[in-house]
Structure 1
Amino acid sequence: MMLSPDQPESDPPWGQTNPDTLVDTVNAGARGSVPDEPASGEGKARSVHVPALSREEKRRRRRATAKYRSAHATRERVRVVAFNVAFAELRKLLPTLPPDKKLSKIEILRLAICYISYLNHVLDV
């Protein structure tokens, strides 16, 4: 509905001045009751309009379940074990003195970079 030029925008044509009150009134009409009125008819089936959840809200609710958290923790443990196995295999390929020296992951990566650089240099000569 269009507002006339002489009608102020703050005063809607339907007489409601507060948009929240209007939304409550419209929603109450859809439910068949008046706002701030206690629900009557215990035991009667009534339809309650549940707003559609966004994809992000659905994802958050699904991730909040104990089953999901448990499965996620299991997947993470498997991933970490595979990650550590890969580092152990890489460590076996690197020459260090003493050979059984325990290296951190960053030390393994830095040593691997240096060793690859050295092997490239040897091939270029």
Structure 2
Amino acid sequence: MMLSPDQAEADLSWTQSDPETMLNGLKSTGCTSDEQAEGEDRSKCKADPPLSREEKRRRRRATAKYRSAHATRERIRVEAFNVAFAELRKLLPTLPPDKKLSKIEILRLAICYISYLNHVLDV
């Protein structure tokens, strides 16, 4: 884009790539998307550009309610995962029977046990 020599730098504020500089510029005019502008203050602010889908998703995920719900879902998921490993562990023969196994050991032992059972069925 060619610029004429008489064009001021202030006219090019939208070309700044530094988000902090852009945010400071918005705050200095009193226009930020976080503030609720009313009445005359609203007329000073230009309309905020529509948010992209990704930006909407980021803002939604930044809320305390969303984080709390996500943490709850994650706890439930991990608990279900651990219950499944415990059930699989009960089905595997080990000596001693109450030996504590890691998740990777449970998976490896299950693979070996399934292979052994396949071999027994083939013979």
Q: Which has the higher helix share?
A: 2
Q: Does 2:19 correspond to 1:21?
A: no
- Matched with 1:101 is 99
The 5 A counterparts of 1:59-70 are 59-70=57-68
Displacement after TM superposition at 1:21 (Å): 1.7
Partner amino acid for 2:52?
A: S
In the alignment, the residues of structure 2 paired with residue 118 and residue 109 of structure 1 have an alpha-carbon distance, to the nearest angstrom, of 14
Per the normalisation by structure 2, the TM-score is 0.70
Q: Any stretches of 5+ residues in structure 1 without a counterpart?
A: 1-8, 25-37
In the alignment, the residues of structure 2 paired with residue 108 and residue 84 of structure 1 have an alpha-carbon distance, to the nearest angstrom, of 11
How many residue pairs get matched? Answer: 101
Q: CA-to-partner distance for each residue in 1:39-69, whole Å, 9 max, x for gaps?
A: 8xx9624153111110000000000000000
Which has more radius of gyration? 1
CA contact (8 A) 1:10 1:17 kept: no
User: What is the DSSP-based 3-state SS (H/G/I as helix, E as strand, rest coil) of the residue aligned with 2:48?
Assistant: coil
Q: Any stretches of 5+ residues in structure 2 without a counterpart?
A: 15-28, 31-37
Q: 1:11 to 1:81 in 2, by over 3 A?
A: closer
Per the normalisation by structure 1, the TM-score is 0.69
